[in-house]
A and B are shown apart, each in its own frame.
Chain A
Amino acid sequence: MNVPTEQIEELKQLFPGVRRCDEGGYAYFLLPDLPLPTGCTPSKTDVLLCPMQRDGYPSRLFFAQVVQSPVSRNWNTACRILERNWHVFSWIVDQPGLRLAQMVTAHLEALQ
């Protein structure tokens, strides 16, 4: 997956330490120790962004652990990606043309 340079730069600026790894035809961006919205437990965790259509979702944000949030979410799926186990809740971000950084924000908004 080719990502425009400006989106990469924006991602790097907003999420220090971001790195990329691909697997099975999908691109993944690792955001280590991402601070989560206020009221979440834990307050930060590793997060994996998949900005591609995957399993019926236009994009997906995977979390290293289940997050307790002010708004309760349906953490119904555990999955293994890039040799780590991840957790994800049901949430569709269906706005076309989002930049990578905007995708991350849109997914995190679901926890507020």
Chain B
Amino acid sequence: MSVDRYSRQSFLGKHAEALIRTCVVGAVGLGGGGSHITQQMAHIGFLHYILYDSDVVEEPNLNRHVGATKADATDNTPKIEVARRMILGLQLEASIEAYQSRWQDHPYSLRGCDVIFGCVDGLAERRELEACARRYLIPYIDIGIDVHQVGTEPPVMAGQVILSMPGGPCLTCLGLLTEDELSKETARYGSAGPRPQVVWANGVLASTAVGVAVDLLTDWTRGLRQSVYLCYYGNQAILQPHIRLEYLGTEVCPHYPPGQVGDPLFKAL
């Protein structure tokens, strides 16, 4: 590998390249958000990937699926193959474990990750992914976007980037997962529905998530020292910390206490 390739990111620190090369990245969901993330990770120099997506490329994906082509839509190329092609096009020596399935059907590989990106639909999916990440002490970075419209008002686009750090506030602590919203989702039989998505908004969130991951790994800013919960207000093109962060205490997350890690230990009553 040419040293010159990464010369423009040398500001990340003298150990950054080695850290990036040895880091194992997990990405669940390789569509609108996940395709951006895997592309960027490959550009930056990440070499080890654990990828999950059960879906194939179809025509409606082409408005936002980075790396997917018209031929992929015609051929219904699995999204994992688009990701694999993209990564290997930049990193010949990349090791890629890719599953065309739900991650829940091949969970063991995910446990070996150093960081997990969640680009999934639905709150229940997020809860399950976060539970696994917490149990195996893996920082989990969640991205999501939604567009809703009320009456004749303009559509409102909003999204989030959240870093769920083991020991710190979880998605429930941060208010993303609530009993009310999970109930509504369950009432729809768990379907999040086909959500509106556009490439530029996905790009904002994915890029921000990647930036958080690189900072976490390299500590280049020496400023990332607490929870990340960024809200994206698409209509105004603003990304800013969620106000909830101001009200977080320093208490340990009550939903994932420190001892609840590793393979589940069922206690006899």
A-side residues, CB < 8 A to B, are: 8, 11-12, 18-25, 29-30, 53-57, 76-83, 85
Contacts and interface: CB of A to CB of B under 8 A. Distances in A.
Contact of B264 (A23, A53, A54, A76): A23
B172 A21 contact: no
Interface of A, secondary structure class, is: strand
A110 to B, nearest CB: 17
B189 A77 contact: yes
B269 A83 contact: no
Interface residues of B, number: 33
A56 B186 contact: yes
A49 B172 CA distance: 21
A83 B256 contact: no
B186 A55 contact: yes
15 contacts: A12-B269, A19-B267, A20-B266, A21-B265, A21-B266, A22-B260, A24-B127, A24-B130, A24-B134, A54-B179, A55-B124, A55-B186, A80-B104, A83-B263, A85-B104
A12 B268 CA distance: 9
A30 B269 CA distance: 10
B234 interface: no
Contact of B183 (A11, A25, A56): A56
B253 to A, nearest CB: 9
B181 to A, nearest CB: 10
A25 B177 CA distance: 12
B264 A21 contact: yes
A77 B187 CA distance: 11
Nearest to B124: A79
Contacts of B185: 55
Given A25-B254, A76-B190, 7 more contacts: A8-B269, A19-B266, A24-B127, A24-B134, A24-B255, A80-B131, A85-B104
